[in-house]
Structure 1
């Protein structure tokens, strides 16, 4: 038997070949065909949970949409999906269309999440890595995303299966944004996330410091509940861009529970987040469109 060179298209035995690399080649070409119609693919990552990564992802999508871009959101957290809830579409279900699986529409955003495949929101997805990778692959290859300017990929926390799957399937990723909070334990894990992104060869667009100080609604004084400035110091230490700090805002949590992005309201965090989006667009050379 001749040694396989993985060039399936030119192989005389491709009709009878049982090499597993053939199946992988077909799957990658299916992903490439869908994702070739998406201009920018951006991962939102964090080293640990609870830093507001999904909140950053959905608000980034909303700001880009408000600036006239065509935007999709892929929730790649298979076992803990939350973007559907944050976007107010958690009761929707996946439907098949003529071009594949139809993404759910959230006020103009195209959204895909494992939450749409669960019979009950409290159902647990108890899957090993290969099954999670298969789901992410299907979300990329079989969903009718259409033409998009941005696909925002909300990753689960950590440096394991899902980020590796996304990078393997999308070798042309535009870049990654790392979300952290100011306290030292979060910064330790965010440094690991930065090093993961660098090791995988993905462009690092920058670090966002979330929950950075709380402005008292009564006296106006800023209270550093989780300290402040840690994200900027980490960015300087790791020689990566610092995109900005987002303050704590008492309105963010109830808005998220209602499925409303905080940038759609006149919140204390909105102005800061607009500057974060400007920084991301600047990193990728996109026009900084006005709201």
Structure 2
């Protein structure tokens, strides 16, 4: 009784008779499935074809301590400044002077065999102030550092740094190799925002001229103001509508955040050297106009 073996149910037959000639029965069957399963296949297909915009970096706040991971904040391995344990005293002093850091990782043969870190204060107290006549040995200056996985929440690492009084950590991948580096300052900046120290440029000094045709420029410097100083058009009409800062100009040309030390040459011949950057943003640039030789 009621089986559809010999002609189908009256409801389905009536629907077939009312359909227009040449019209497929697929919409009717799809509507039936939608009523049973709540399917919305057409809208799902359209949504799948639309690319998702990249998520912006989260603003500073206490929620980042739980939400963000070590891998989100760490400086990539290729940008780590480190020294071998066999380095001489003069070379180590020059390394500190060149980069302006107070701590540097120390490794044995490669960065994947780290030994610890050396602090500028220890170097100055042991071999500076007129007491540097003895034989130099970096090993006795090495301090311990932390080794953490990239999946660790930054709040957990911040607590470990506070308890163990170690302000630098190396990120170790699943194979035991070094994957990145971060400091206590990097973690605090995720909560309170960027920290300006004595090595950073003043807020009102967007740029300074190193020599004719070459400037050190803050990434947040307005493009139009810097164009007025150089007397050269740096952004085309299309880019001017989308960007405001010098860092945004370089980011638009590459489509990504460049690494520190990377050089970008624009079509008009202007060179942008990335002096300072982290994985999330550009901080400072060295801009050279066409015809200006690079500094030695």
Instruction: Give the TM bin, normalised by the shorter chain.
Output: under 0.3
**Higher-RCO chain (CA-CA 8 Å, sequence separation at least 6):** 1
Higher helix proportion (structure 1 or 2): 1
